[in-house]
């Protein structure tokens, strides 16, 4: 297996093209280049130095191309589907109002953008925001009414409060998972699927 050096902009571009959780960077590039996608298990590298989360925001990353999605490593559990018939659909909400380009550009990294978009949604949909509590992974909480509740489920959850909404979210997931979670939040609040995916890509 060969390794390449990629800068931050290229890394983010490749990661933004993820179509499924766990998809390797090699598979993404093969798909983008119209090459056949192989499903073989990648060989384990002898040694790779993984940069910290802070350095991935600031510096050029030297990573194994097969392991590009593991820079922000944590959970890989899929987000469980929620029974759609129980969701009150908001028909008079313009979900584009949560996207403020200038404010998003001021946020620090993927976590900052994730939290900003969630806080904007909590203010836009205060009456139905509790729907986020229905979004869970297999044996894993993503949202709760307290920091302690998330920590009791996972000591590495790194919980943060969503503005002053009284709701908390785990933030130790990688960027692809944050996008999946935010997309599910938008769907729960009545956003259509295409728009939800588009907004989630802003993370």
Q: Which residues pair with 60 in a beta bridge?
A: none
Check residue 1 and give its pLDDT: 64
With tokens 């709760």, the residue in question is 144
Distance CA 187, CA 7 (A): 33
pLDDT band at 71 (very low <50, low <70, confident <90, very high): very low
Whether 52 has a pLDDT exceeding 80, the answer reads no
Whether 72 has a pLDDT exceeding 70, the answer reads no
Whether 32 has a pLDDT exceeding 70, the answer reads yes
Check residue 124 and give its pLDDT: 93
What are 116's two structure tokens? 């900003």
pLDDT band at 30 (very low <50, low <70, confident <90, very high): confident
78, 21 Cβ separation under 8 angstroms? yes
| Distance, CA of 174 to chain centre | 6
175, 169 Cβ separation under 8 angstroms? no
182, 117 Cβ separation under 8 angstroms? yes
Distance CA 19, CA 200 (A): 13
Strands (E), 57-190: 61-63, 136-137, 140-141, 143-144, 159-161, 168-170
Condensed to tens digits (0 to 9), the pLDDT of residues 77-109 reads: 556 544 444 444 445 788 988 888 889 889 999
61, 54 Cβ separation under 8 angstroms? no
From residue 100, give the alpha-carbon distance in Å to each of 22, 47, 105, 136: 30, 41, 9, 27
Whether 47 has a pLDDT exceeding 80, the answer reads no
Average pLDDT along the chain: 78
Higher pLDDT, 23 or 151: 151
Mean per-residue pLDDT, 155-181 = 95
> What share of the chain in percent tops pLDDT 90?
46
Residues 11, 17, 23, 29, Cα dihedral to 10°: -70
Check residue 163 and give its pLDDT: 95
């Amino acid at each position: 297996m060969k390794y390449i050096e990629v800068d931050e902009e290229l890394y983010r571009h490749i990661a933004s093209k993820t179509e499924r959780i766990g998809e390797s960077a090699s598979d993404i590039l093969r798909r983008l280049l119209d090459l056949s996608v192989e499903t073989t298990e990648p060989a384990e590298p002898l040694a790779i130095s993984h940069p910290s989360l802070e350095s991935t925001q600031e510096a050029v990353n030297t990573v194994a191309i097969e392991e590009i999605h593991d820079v922000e490593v944590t959970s890989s559990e899929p987000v469980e589907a929620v029974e759609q018939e129980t969701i009150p659909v908001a028909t008079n909400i313009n979900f584009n109002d949560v996207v403020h380009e200038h404010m998003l550009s001021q946020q620090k990294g993927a976590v900052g953008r994730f939290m900003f978009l969630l806080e904007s949604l909590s203010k836009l949909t205060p009456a139905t925001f509790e729907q986020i509590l229905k979004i869970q992974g297999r044996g894993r909480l993503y949202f709760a009414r307290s920091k302690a509740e998330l920590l009791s489920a996972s000591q590495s959850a790194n919980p943060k409060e969503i503005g002053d909404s009284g709701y908390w979210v785990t933030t130790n997931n990688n960027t692809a998972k944050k996008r999946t979670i935010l997309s599910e939040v938008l769907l729960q609040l009545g956003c259509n699927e295409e728009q939800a995916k588009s907004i989630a890509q802003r993370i």
